[in-house]
Amino acid sequence: MDFTLEIYKKLLKSLLIQDYAFLTFNDFLNSNKKKSMVLRHDVDLLPNNSLRFAKIQAELDIKGSYYFRAVPESWDEGIIKETASLGHEVGYHYENMDTCNGDVDKAWDDFRLHLDKLRKLVDVKTICMHGSPRSKFDNKDIWKKFDYRTLDIIGEPYYDVDFDKVFYLTDTGRRWDGWKSSVRDKVPQQTEWVKQGLVFHSTNDIIQASNANQLPDNIMFTMHPQRWSDGGFQWLKELILQNLKNEIKKYLVK
Ligand SMILES: [Zn+2]
């Protein structure tokens, strides 16, 4: 069984042995470590799952970045504050072009409103786009007209990470090579990485590469904690739903 908390812990431990500095995205942008690891979490839904991740990391003295959406299925103020108090970074997982039906001025107002709301709870320095495959809007389009830096935001992974220098791994589609069928969660360098053999399917594949010291020095992981669970019914449900979604996405990408 993959995508269980058990295997997640194994992954973190294997990365710890390799001496990566685990940095929040904010710290990553301000540092120049030779070996660094950013654990980014998109809290699309089930914030309790992301809190479990946050606690596991805190036990191992690891820091990560957690991006919450301004929708009821993600936005849990208790969990947002607890995540920050465990030493993690919290950011805004924005989707304003989507919720404002493509009206960029409305989206900008909506963005600032929710950023301010989040900043009443925690310090926010970075943001990250939510990319719904079903939406016809690209949430990044808001930055064709406006600039998040004017709001004292220093980073958005899609703009502020040089993926020529940072290897990117995402659990999109509930596997590690699912970006091929992803509509928006991809970076151009991935095809080059495949040629270099840097392509992984299961979490165990990554653990093995880590143990053999074959992973690049700088890595950003994107994880969706709702896809990870203790096994049992929720695990099975996620497996079945995700397989179905992958089929639909394949169709959308074509
Ligand atoms: Zn998302």
> Quick check: 166 pLDDT over 90?
yes
Q: From the CA of 95, how far away is ligand 1's center (Å)?
A: 9
Single-letter residue type at 149: R
Spacing, Cα 234 to ligand 1 middle (Å): 19
Arithmetic mean of pLDDT, 55-73: 97
**pLDDT mean across residues, the chain:** 92
Bigger pLDDT: 246 vs 59 = 59
Interval between CA 42 and ligand 1 midpoint (Å): 5
Tens-place pLDDT, residues 104-115:
999 999 999 999
Average pLDDT over residues 239-248: 75
For the chain, the residue count is 254
Q: What is the pTM of this model?
A: 0.90
The pLDDT value recorded for residue 125 is: 98
- Give the whole-angstrom CA distance, residue 249 versus residue 213: 33
Q: How confident is the model at residue 182 (pLDDT cuts 50, 70, 90)?
A: confident
Residue 137 CB contacts under 8 Å (≥ 6 apart), including other chains = 97, 98, 101, 102
| pLDDT band for position 247 (cuts 50, 70, 90) | confident
Separation between Cα atoms, residue 45 and residue 86, nearest integer Å: 20
* Closest residue by Cα to residue 49 from 8, 14, 2: 8
212 CA → ligand 1 middle, Å: 32
Mean pLDDT, residues 172-198: 83
Q: What pLDDT does 246 receive?
A: 74
How buried is residue 116: exposed, middle or buried, by Cβ count under 10 Å (0-12/13-18/19+)?
exposed
Measured in Å, residue 94 CA sits from the centre of ligand 1 at 8
- CA–centroid distance, residue 244 to ligand 1 (Å): 18
CA–centroid distance, residue 76 to ligand 1 (Å): 15
Which band of pLDDT confidence, cut at 50, 70 and 90, is reported for residue 253? Answer: low
pLDDT at residue 113, as a whole number:
98
pLDDT given for residue 204 in this prediction: 96
Q: How does pLDDT run across 143-161, given as a tens digit for each residue? A: 999 999 999 999 999 999 9
pLDDT in tens, 80-100: 999 999 999 999 999 999 999
pLDDT at 254 exceeding the cut of 60: no
